[in-house]
Amino acid sequence: MEQPDSDTAWMDAGNCRSVSPSVFFPSDGVGVEVARQICRDCPVKNACLEYALVNRIDHGVWGGTSERERRRIARRRRVGAEAAERSRPPA
């Protein structure tokens, strides 16, 4: 099982550092788009997305992705890891 990622130094460089956190926990699709616009050219977008994926953060917009998009990414990674495991030759 993956350990929670406690390295959050990248957060200080995010485009959202001066934006209300509530913007990143929208209640509808319009709100998600507003948050994504802020994330779009964020210099720490990848670190932010990985943080949310590794820590299984369900809510909010992280790394420019919605909750649904992160679930999809996590599912794809799981399926890929399982396929790699199955194709590994026996020890």
Identify the residue among 32, 64, 66, 70 touching ligand SF4 (CB under 6 A): 64
Q: Where does the chain have alpha helices with state H?
A: 29-39, 45-54, 67-87
Note whether 73 binds ligand SF4 by CB under 6 A.
Answer: no
Segment contacting ligand SF4 by CB under 6 A, of 25-33, 60-68, 70-78, 81-89: 60-68
38 binds ligand SF4, rule: CB under 6 A = yes
Which residue type is seen at 55?
N
* 46 or 80: CB nearest ligand SF4: 46
Dihedral, CA atoms, 43, 5, 56, 85, nearest 10 degrees? Answer: 100
CB of 3 or CB of 20, closer to ligand SF4: 20
Using CA atoms, how far apart are residues 23 and 77, in angstroms rounded to an integer?
28
Phi, psi of 14 (to 5 degrees): -75, 150
Kindly state whether residue 44 participates in binding ligand SF4, applying the rule CB under 6 A. yes
Q: Write down the least CB distance from residue 80 to ligand SF4, Å.
A: 23
